[in-house]
Chains A and B, each alone.
Chain A
Amino acid sequence: NAGVTQTPKFRVLKTGQSMTLLCAQDMNHEYMYWYRQDPGMGLRLIHYSVGEGTTAKGEVPDGYNVSRLKKQNFLLGLESAAPSQTSVYFCASFERDRNTEAFFGQGTRLTVV
Chain B
Amino acid sequence: DAKTTQPPSMDCAEGRAANLPCNHSTISGNEYVYWYRQIHSQGPQYIIHGLKNNETNEMASLIITEDRKSSTLILPHATLRDTAVYYCIVRVPSGGYQKVTFGTGTKLQVIP
Contact = CB atoms under 8 A, between A and B. Distances in A.
Interface of A: 4, 31, 33, 35, 37, 41-45, 48, 50, 56, 58-59, 88, 90, 92, 96-107, 109
Contacts, number: 73
Contacts of A100: 93
B9 to A, nearest CB: 11
Majority DSSP secondary structure for residues of B touching A? loop
Contacts of B49: 99, 101
Interface stretch (B13-21, B37-45, B65-73, B75-83): B37-45
Contact of A104 (B32, B45, B96): B45
Majority DSSP secondary structure for residues of A touching B? strand
Contacts of B103: 42
B43 A106 contact: yes
Contact of A107 (B42, B102, B104): B42
